[in-house]
Copies of this chain bind each other. A is one copy, B any other.
Amino acid sequence: MSKTIKKIAVLTSGGDSPGMNAAIRAVVRTCAYHNIECVGIYRGYEGLMEGDFKQMNARSVRGIINKGGTILKSARSKEFRTKEGRLQAHKMLVEENVDALVAIGGDGTFTGAMIFSQEFDFPVMGIPGTIDNDIVGTSHTLGFDTALNTVVDAIDKIRDTASSHNRLFFIEVMGRDVGHIALNVGIAGGAEEILIPEEDLGLDRLVESLNKSRKSGKSSSIVVVAEGDKIGKNIFELKDYVDENMEGYDVRVSVLGHMQRGGPPSCFDRVLASRMGVKAVESLMEGKTSYMVGLINGKMELTPLEKAIKGKTKINLELLRVSDIMST
């Protein structure tokens, strides 16, 4: 039988995302509800190895559900990838009498958590926090929905000026390996084309599409480009290509950048974070370990961390088709 959990630690690691604070709050309050002690760990695995801990209770997380970022701060740690680093981390947790760990982050975070759990037979539970939505085992990662709204709001603003000047805008959004953000905001922002890492549209098709759009009477256009698109040119080269190869276009580039990571989380992300925090703590109480909590078909479900890490999310092909039809 698994050991009774009396004290849980929680950390955030990797890139921050809106909803991480709501998830910390949920972990802390679920602990309080079940009379389990809770400690926050600052700066992810770095702070874990340094013993940078703080006792937390229901009041410690007051007023943070609507704040972007993470009050526990985040970091990437090289040292935790070494055996020595993890030994040090384990020592700190043992000294603090911590029985289990909740790690909020993306696949790098989960890889560290899984190895740590295996090496020391230490209970861990993962909560997927990243705006990229690139984790298998949940239809939505924490922060994805908020980032979509942030980007769409920016595209709406850019479209105001694009249509006033009959311009073509290439807008770069986050997504090095996956096009989930680009695909959704492209549809929602009324983009003519969407360039994603999962498929190479090809320059010819892009040019053709823009020409068709213009002939149909559109005077301005938006092309959404994911960071990791496969068209073989960066966004500034794309602009130059159109400038040189197409007539009559006034082309501009906008790289949205880090503002996509911040801001108050959407209602969806706050509710999701609250549900995930409850599920993570209660799963640890039930003796479960090395799982990630996630949203599958509207319900909280567990997925083995190993599967979450190795899997690769797929683009919803229906959305690609919808995008094509909408840019008619």
User: Which residues of chain B have C-beta atoms less than 8 A from A259's C-beta?
Assistant: 154, 157-158, 254, 256
Contact A73 B166 (CB under 8 A): yes
Contact B252 A160 (CB under 8 A): no
A150 at the interface (CB under 8 A from B): yes
Known: A73-B166, A263-B156. A257 touches B258 (CB 8 A): no
Measured in the bound complex, the distance between the Cα atoms of B67 and A173 in whole Å is 23
Measured in the bound complex, the distance between the Cα atoms of B316 and A189 in whole Å is 31
Known: A68-B157, A157-B261. A328 touches B187 (CB 8 A): no
CB distance from A173 to the nearest CB of B (A): 12
Measured in the bound complex, the distance between the Cα atoms of B64 and A291 in whole Å is 37
Contact A160 B58 (CB under 8 A): no
The 6 closest A-B pairs by CB, nearest first: A157-B262, A160-B262, A68-B160, A69-B160, A188-B270, A148-B267
8 other A-B residue contacts (CB within 8 Å) besides A157-B258, A254-B257 = A16-B161, A58-B328, A70-B164, A73-B163, A154-B259, A253-B257, A256-B259, A266-B266
14 contacts between A and B (CB under 8 A): A20-B164, A26-B325, A29-B328, A33-B325, A65-B190, A69-B160, A75-B166, A145-B268, A148-B267, A152-B267, A157-B262, A158-B262, A169-B258, A297-B298
